[in-house]
Amino acid sequence: MNTLALTPPARLGAENYLLDSLKPQWQSRMATATRLIRQRFNEAIDWNWLAQQCAVSPSHFHYVFKNAFNEGPGQFQRRMRLQYALSQLQLSDKSVTDVALESGFSSSQALAKALRRVLGLSASDVRQLCSQRDAQVWKSLLPKLGQPHPDHPESLDNTLLDRIEIRLEQRGERYLYLYEANARSVGQIYCACSKYLPLNCDTVFVYSPWEACANPAMASYYWGYEAKVELANYQVPARTYLCATVVIDSEASYLMVWEAIYRRLSDEGLQIDYEAFLCDEIAVQNRDDGGMLISICLPVVPSC
């Protein structure tokens, strides 16, 4: 059963929130703009060409974009580059020069200057902090690269927690065929595994142990899909979960979902089931808005 299809998802993330506030004709134009910038974040973009792709006058494009997103297209692209660079510095062993060039910076010095300006850190500082196996470090860095808030120094992403619906669900037992993943994050796993899925697969399951919360780069991940009993290599017993089904557009919005789940956990006085794995269910589909439909599930001890 495709559980993702049972619950209408919230479009999470500051970018989606801002798009939803626009009139329909401008929603499609600005969605095209952000989609193309994301696809070409590490390239030199001709802004006149981009304006034409969005059916906006080149002379008005920068003004319209900034009015919609509280930043110009150049600033938006730099945030995408820094988000990618930050992820690579944490999750890969690539040299700083390679990370810089892959992210669209002209040199490691250019990346260092951008990191210092936005985060107050060097590339080596970022790697050292991430090696401390403290998830709070990662959570403190990503919001600094979030969508600017027009009236508050905090990023807009952090102000949208109330848009997330958290449900307490009893999930029946499942039979899965799982592989151990070489990738070091849920997003990387999805990109790596999607081409190996069966033709009729509509959901990717990603399971991770509790050490993934403390240090994603050091944890073991497992990905797979539902299978018939005789073809499965792993049985997931029936359990109770706190679940959120959302469309996310960045790692910052992914972390925001976890923040909302933990808040609900505390409010309800629930206990985490430490014997179970964390579970992410990712829909296998291409979305026009560039987002990822995902259900994030935290196992909890059932109430007596």
Q: Indicate the burial class of 228 (C-beta count within 10 angstroms; 0-12, 13-18, 19 or more).
A: exposed
31 assigned to some structural domain: no
Average pLDDT of the residues of the chain:
81
Contacts of 189 (CB under 8 A, 6+ apart): 181, 183, 204, 206, 221, 223
Tens-digit pLDDT profile for residues 134-165: 556 666 776 777 777 666 555 666 666 777 88
Q: Are residues 170 and 232 in the same domain?
A: yes
Q: Are residues 208 and 273 in the same domain?
A: yes
> At residue 76, what is the residue type?
F
> At residue 141, what is the residue type?
L
CATH code at position 202: 3.20.80.10
191 assigned to some structural domain: yes
Q: How confident is the model at residue 133 (pLDDT cuts 50, 70, 90)?
A: low
- Note the pLDDT of residue 2: 44
Give the domain-ending residue among 97, 122, 146.
146
Structure-token pair, residue 131: 């090696």
Tens-digit pLDDT profile for residues 212-225: 555 555 567 788 88
Q: How confident is the model at residue 262 (pLDDT cuts 50, 70, 90)?
A: confident
Q: Are residues 181 and 290 in the same domain?
A: yes
45 assigned to some structural domain: no
> At residue 138, what is the residue type?
W
Q: How many CB atoms lie within 10 A of CB 87?
A: 19
Q: Are residues 171 and 269 in the same domain?
A: yes
Q: Is pLDDT at 172 greater than 80 in this prediction? A: yes
* C-alpha span between 1 and 250 (Å, rounded): 27
Structure-token pair, residue 134: 């403290």
Helix axes 108-119, 96-103, angle to 10 degrees: 80
Q: Are residues 126 and 236 in the same domain?
A: no
Q: Are residues 174 and 254 in the same domain?
A: yes
Measured between alpha carbons, how far is residue 129 from residues 47, 134, 180, 210, 220 in Å?
Answer: 36, 8, 27, 20, 20
Q: Is pLDDT at 33 greater than 80 in this prediction? A: yes
Give the domain-ending residue among 146, 176, 191.
146
Q: Are residues 113 and 235 in the same domain?
A: no
99 assigned to some structural domain: yes
Structure-token pair, residue 66: 């900034």
Q: Which residue has the higher pLDDT, 233 or 3?
A: 233
Total domains in the chain come to 2
Q: Is pLDDT at 274 greater than 70 in this prediction? A: yes
Q: Is pLDDT at 29 greater than 50 in this prediction? A: yes
- Note the pLDDT of residue 230: 95
Q: Are residues 209 and 292 in the same domain?
A: yes
57 assigned to some structural domain: no
Domain holding 194, by residue range, is 162-300
Q: Which residue has the higher pLDDT, 259 or 108?
A: 108
Q: How confident is the model at residue 7 (pLDDT cuts 50, 70, 90)?
A: very low
Q: Are residues 179 and 229 in the same domain?
A: yes
Q: For residue 185, give the nearest of 160, 166, 206 by alpha carbon.
A: 206
Q: Is pLDDT at 271 greater than 60 in this prediction? A: yes
236 assigned to some structural domain: yes
Query: What is the full DSSP assignment across 70-115?
Result: SS-HHHHHHHHHHHHHHHHHHH----HHHHHHHHT-SSHHHHHHHH
Segment 253-272 mean pLDDT: 85
Q: Are residues 294 and 246 in the same domain?
A: yes
Structure-token pair, residue 296: 């994030």
Tens-digit pLDDT profile for residues 174-212: 999 998 876 656 666 666 666 677 777 888 888 887 665
262 assigned to some structural domain: yes
Segment 234-255 mean pLDDT: 84
The answer to pTM > 0.75 is no
* C-alpha span between 235 and 207 (Å, rounded): 12
Q: Are residues 177 and 133 in the same domain?
A: no
